[in-house]
Chains A and B, each alone.
Chain A
Amino acid sequence: MKVLVAVKHVVDYNIKPRVKPDGSDVDIAGVKMGINPFDEIAVEEAIRLKERGVATEVVAVTIGKANSQDTLRHALAMGVDKAVLIQTDVEVQPLAVAKLLKSLVEREQPQLIILGKQAIDDDLGQTGQMLAALINAGQGTFASVIDVKAGEIEVTREIDGGTDVVALKLPAVVTTDLRLNEPRFIKLPNLMMAKKKPIETINAADLGLDISPRLKQLKAADPEPRKPGIKVANVAELVEKLRLAEVL
């Protein structure tokens, strides 16, 4: 079984992002970038499937500028077999990403496509669902367990108030949630090997798809600062304050 994993190159999640002075966007110039953590979980899951003998080949794909290669190297070092960069300088939104992924799915014919449930930069959380619709495949979103059976998979989904298990015919799209696995540490020898592995680059413009942005970002702003707390002298005062705040 061939597995396709989509990964996104995003601002490192330990970085505290800053809004540009003009409020147009988040300032990411010179900021440390890395693999989207949910996508890292997707890569880990695909590699585990391969290690268990379930998957035969794992292909990682990313869409973006040339520097997105770093994230593909990360995936290669973790153990994927092949890496593809669909290169574009256009800001790609979920629908565009889904369309581009669809073209690669048609070429690679994977049985299983695993993606992060969302990217931590825009937090849109739509790509997996749109891709499933475009390729007319089943979807198992927010997965915490993936169980591969003959010709189908069972996906345990994280939902409000519990879990939900769905069975999907292959090919299928799965999006990962945090509890699915804990990605491995990368071994240095693998990191070095990954530097030498080839990465296939496809020019997005050559695919003849409309990937122009449909959503317009109006502004970016810092969250409201938290209001300072107060100290109360006794329980009576606490109760009074809570009443005033209409909590009690």
Chain B
Amino acid sequence: MNAPALPADVLEQLKTIVGEQRVKTDHDSLVTWGVDWTKHYEPRPSVIVFPASTEEVQAIVKLANTCQIPVIPSGGRTGLSAGAVAANGEIVISMDRMNKVLSFLHADRLVRVQAGVITEQLQQYAEQQGLYYPVDFAAAGSSQIGGNIGTNAGGIKVIHYGMTREWVLGLTVVTGKGDILHLNKGMIKNATGYALHQLFIGSEGTLGIVTEAEIKLTRQPQDLKVLVLSVPDFAAVMPILHAFQQRIDLTAFEFFNDTALQKIMAAGHAARPFETESPLYVLLEFEGRFEAVVDDAMSIFEHCMEQGWILDGVMSQSQSQAQALWHLREGISETIAPFTPYKNDISVLITHVPAFIADINAIVAANYPDFEVCWFGHIGDGNLHLNILKPANLSKDEFFEKCKVVNQHVFETVQKYNGSISAEHGVGMTKKDYLGYTRDAVEISYMRELKKVFDPQGIMNPGKVFDL
């Protein structure tokens, strides 16, 4: 790969802004920082810069405006929609050096961080304060807060704690125009017009770059109990959710099918939690701080068994058992990665989940009876990850070609139920062509107009979410 040439004077000016050592144009750096977890596109940035302050970011964005060179904000690069991929000679602004926790206001339970702070680092900081940052997912050890904000990251605790959006009370951003805005400043109550910070959450770097954030923390959950239940069919999953939710605040409600469990066991990553086999499993979690709650859970379990919704189940008796049970669910993505899965991240209202799943199952069964399908996901939020595994006898290209046809059917079904083609991974480049299944043309035109306000020259992460 040849790096697209950047005018020498631009390179010099970048070096003046961030320092000689903080500008990288070598091949290894370009292919490392120019890509995320998606492998669909060849990374071709022209330069990677590592600013250390909001002012440096501003100077870079202003320079990019002057030279008309596009800019790609880059965080932990764990995205699954190619939202941080630089494939056209862009300037990549890596937030890696902006990784400091700036301040903590105890009375407000509010922490101010730079955008390059790693999610897990924030979780650990919260723990040191005796508090909790509840947005959690498999990539938390690498992903950065800025990226979480860019995609409005969700994860495994959304059913109780909501998405990243719930926890962001303020942002410092550099707009595509090059202005620095301090938005909402950490306030819970602020009824003074448009909540601009909300626009930046989930905007995937198309409006500007988030450089700092004020994040709300909460109390630590205690005595988390994890249940894994074996379930006879999809129709039983929602009644189980309703039965538990009626009396207990669940902190997670996940599901996976037996194909997923078989893969995890075959990889030696975990053992079957109990001998009763079933097509589906539900993992749920709640705070068992009081004996009465645990007793409640047991009587609900008993009720569900009597109804035939649950065949069997186990409950963690210690934190290490809870972790072992969680691994059955959290280890799936990593375990099936070698099968080159075709992945989807779709959501519908919980009300529609049973009908939706039945439709999708019918599509897959009709078109691809031989394909192995791993179902898992945050079913308590109506969010499903449909993973179709590549049969060994198909080439990658043939397989993805066939999957494209499934895509069409799946997204039509999503549209039928007024759902989302991307629940928590963002749109980036991989879902861009399908945006119309979730957002209508008028709505997208408003988004385009909004982008022009913040980024009149169209230099911020172009080609992502929608085309101009």
Instruction: List chain A positions with a Cβ less than 8 A from chain B.
Output: 12-14, 32, 34-35, 37, 74, 182, 184-189, 191-192
A34 touches B317 (CB 8 A): yes
A187 touches B317 (CB 8 A): no
Among B312, B315, B318, which residue has its beta carbon within 8 angstroms of that of A13? B318
B318 touches A185 (CB 8 A): no
Q: A185-B325, A188-B227 are in contact. Are A74 and B302 (CB under 8 A)?
A: no
B223 touches A32 (CB 8 A): yes
Contacts of B305 in A (CB 8 A): 189
Contacts of B273 in A (CB 8 A): 185
Contacts of B223 in A (CB 8 A): 32
Contacts of A32 in B (CB 8 A): 223
| New A-B pairs, 19, CB < 8 Å, besides A185-B321, A192-B302 | A14-B318, A34-B318, A35-B317, A37-B318, A182-B271, A184-B274, A185-B228, A185-B314, A185-B315, A186-B317, A187-B274, A187-B313, A187-B314, A188-B227, A188-B298, A188-B313, A188-B314, A189-B313, A192-B301
The 9 closest A-B pairs by CB, nearest first: A185-B314, A14-B319, A188-B313, A188-B301, A185-B273, A187-B314, A192-B298, A188-B315, A186-B317
Bound CA–CA A76/B173 (angstroms) = 58
Q: Which residue of A lies closest to B314 (CB)?
A: A185
CB distance from B60 to the nearest CB of A (A): 29
Q: Which residue of A lies closest to B289 (CB)?
A: A32
Q: A188-B315, A189-B305 are in contact. Are A14 and B274 (CB under 8 A)?
A: no
B319 touches A185 (CB 8 A): no
Bound CA–CA A142/B84 (angstroms) = 53
CB distance from B398 to the nearest CB of A (A): 41
Q: Which residue of A lies closest to B288 (CB)?
A: A32
- In chain B, positions 286-322 with a C-beta closer than 8 Å to chain A are 298, 301-302, 305, 312-321
7 A–B contact pairs at CB < 8 A? A14-B318, A37-B318, A185-B228, A185-B315, A186-B314, A187-B314, A189-B305
- In chain B, positions 333-376 with a C-beta closer than 8 Å to chain A are none
Contacts of B271 in A (CB 8 A): 182
Bound CA–CA A188/B240 (angstroms) = 15
Bound CA–CA A119/B223 (angstroms) = 22
Instruction: List chain B positions with a Cβ less than 8 A from chain A.
Output: 223, 227-228, 271, 273-274, 298, 301-302, 305, 312-321, 324-325
Most chain A C-beta atoms within 10 Å of own C-beta, residue among B223, B271, B302, B314: B314
Contacts of A188 in B (CB 8 A): 227, 298, 301, 312-315
Contacts of A185 in B (CB 8 A): 228, 273-274, 314-317, 321, 324-325
CB distance from A203 to the nearest CB of B (A): 25
Contacts of B313 in A (CB 8 A): 187-189
Grouping DSSP codes into helix (H, G, I), strand (E, B) and loop, the A interface class, with mixed when no group exceeds half, is: mixed
Bound CA–CA A13/B323 (angstroms) = 14
Q: Which residue of B lies closest to A34 (CB)?
A: B318
CB distance from A230 to the nearest CB of B (A): 20
Contacts of A189 in B (CB 8 A): 305, 312-313
Bound CA–CA A74/B274 (angstroms) = 17
CB distance from B85 to the nearest CB of A (A): 35
Q: Which residue of B lies closest to A37 (CB)?
A: B318
B298 touches A191 (CB 8 A): yes
Contacts of A184 in B (CB 8 A): 274
Bound CA–CA A35/B321 (angstroms) = 13
A187 touches B312 (CB 8 A): yes
Bound CA–CA A34/B321 (angstroms) = 13
Q: Which residue of A lies closest to B312 (CB)?
A: A187
Most chain A C-beta atoms within 10 Å of own C-beta, residue among B273, B313, B317, B325: B317
CB distance from B48 to the nearest CB of A (A): 25
Contacts of A191 in B (CB 8 A): 298, 315
Q: Which residue of B lies closest to A14 (CB)?
A: B319
Contacts of B314 in A (CB 8 A): 185-188
Q: Which residue of A lies closest to B304 (CB)?
A: A188
Bound CA–CA A165/B312 (angstroms) = 39
Q: Which residue of A lies closest to B316 (CB)?
A: A185
Bound CA–CA A182/B271 (angstroms) = 11
Bound CA–CA A182/B324 (angstroms) = 11
A14 touches B320 (CB 8 A): yes
Bound CA–CA A188/B223 (angstroms) = 17
Bound CA–CA A192/B305 (angstroms) = 13
Bound CA–CA A37/B302 (angstroms) = 28
Bound CA–CA A186/B325 (angstroms) = 12
CB distance from B197 to the nearest CB of A (A): 37
Bound CA–CA A126/B315 (angstroms) = 32
CB distance from A67 to the nearest CB of B (A): 11
Bound CA–CA A191/B299 (angstroms) = 11
Bound CA–CA A37/B223 (angstroms) = 17
Bound CA–CA A13/B315 (angstroms) = 18
CB distance from B345 to the nearest CB of A (A): 30
Q: Which residue of B lies closest to A12 (CB)?
A: B318
Bound CA–CA A186/B294 (angstroms) = 14
Q: Which residue of A lies closest to B317 (CB)?
A: A186
Bound CA–CA A208/B317 (angstroms) = 36
CB distance from A10 to the nearest CB of B (A): 12
CB distance from A125 to the nearest CB of B (A): 21
Contacts of A37 in B (CB 8 A): 318
CB distance from B418 to the nearest CB of A (A): 36
Bound CA–CA A37/B273 (angstroms) = 18
Q: Which residue of A lies closest to B297 (CB)?
A: A188
Q: A14-B320, A32-B223 are in contact. Are A186 and B298 (CB under 8 A)?
A: no
CB distance from B325 to the nearest CB of A (A): 7
CB distance from B283 to the nearest CB of A (A): 12
CB distance from A90 to the nearest CB of B (A): 26
Contacts of A35 in B (CB 8 A): 317
Contacts of B301 in A (CB 8 A): 188, 192
Most chain A C-beta atoms within 10 Å of own C-beta, residue among B305, B312, B319: B319
Bound CA–CA A34/B316 (angstroms) = 12
Q: Which residue of B lies closest to A35 (CB)?
A: B317
Contacts of A186 in B (CB 8 A): 314-315, 317
Q: Which residue of A lies closest to B298 (CB)?
A: A192
Q: Which residue of A lies closest to B227 (CB)?
A: A188
Q: Which residue of A lies closest to B271 (CB)?
A: A182
Bound CA–CA A200/B301 (angstroms) = 28
Contacts of B227 in A (CB 8 A): 188
Bound CA–CA A185/B225 (angstroms) = 12
Contacts of A12 in B (CB 8 A): 318-319
Bound CA–CA A39/B54 (angstroms) = 56
Bound CA–CA A191/B321 (angstroms) = 15
CB distance from A178 to the nearest CB of B (A): 12
